[in-house]
């Protein structure tokens, strides 16, 4: 699979888990070691890890949280600025610095051959927060699906940087 298509696929996996996507992508998920027999468990885990629990959200998937301690702050505006420079605007309910949107943006830049913009986005924005998110996710003792997804996401992006 081409790297930009893999990144777009990963971006969808960081969004709320949809049974249809998981069913359609069984073969790719199996190749990545992410096959889950009980998709409803992922929805519960997604809510626990990324949305809401009585104890708080252990691993919010937003740059703003890791860089400011709050949601929808300057890092979200920064991400949106990167997108608008490329003529894009995220569509959906999440702030622009949601991990899913950021990976979709990286996939777009890669598909357009915009290596300079890609390096700038990763270096000036993405790598400033993603390692902290990954540590928070690991500390939350997630379902193996999400731990593996974080590892694969990081590996794909690091490999991409090494190739540049």
Per-residue pLDDT reduced to its tens digit, 16-31 = 998 888 888 888 899 9
Q: Are 9 and 2 in contact (CB under 8 A)?
A: no
Q: What is the mean pLDDT of the chain?
A: 94
- Taking the alpha carbons of 53, 65, 98, 130 in that order, is the dihedral positive or negative? negative
As a whole-number percent, the residues of the chain with pLDDT over 70 amount to 100
Domains of the chain: which residue ranges? 3-163
Q: Are 164 and 120 in contact (CB under 8 A)?
A: no
For residue 132, how many C-alpha atoms fall within 13 Å in the half-sphere facing its CB?
A: 15
pTM over 0.85: yes
**DSSP for 94-137, written as a single string:** S-TTBHHHHHHHHHHHHHTT-HHHHHHHIIIIIHHHHHHHHHHH
In this structure, CATH architecture of domain 3-163: Orthogonal Bundle (1.10)
**Rounded Cα gap, residues 3 and 11, in angstroms:** 12
Q: Are 157 and 66 in contact (CB under 8 A)?
A: no
């Amino acid at each position: 699979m081409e790297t930009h298509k893999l990144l777009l696929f990963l971006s969808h996996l960081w969004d709320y888990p949809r049974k249809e996507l998981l069913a359609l992508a069984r073969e790719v998920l199996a190749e990545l070691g992410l096959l889950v027999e009980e998709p409803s468990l992922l929805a519960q885990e997604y809510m626990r890890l990324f949305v809401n629990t009585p104890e708080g959200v252990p691993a919010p998937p937003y740059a703003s949280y890791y860089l400011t301690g709050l949601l929808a702050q300057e890092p979200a505006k920064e991400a949106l600025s990167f997108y608008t420079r490329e003529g894009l605007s995220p569509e959906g309910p999440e702030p622009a610095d949601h991990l899913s949107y950021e990976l979709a943006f990286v996939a777009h830049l890669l598909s357009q051959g915009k290596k300079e913009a890609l390096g700038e986005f990763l270096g000036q924005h993405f790598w400033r927060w993603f390692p902290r998110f990954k540590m928070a996710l690991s500390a939350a003792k997630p379902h193996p699906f999400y731990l593996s997804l974080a590892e694969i996401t990081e590996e794909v992006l690091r490999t991409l940087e090494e190739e540049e």
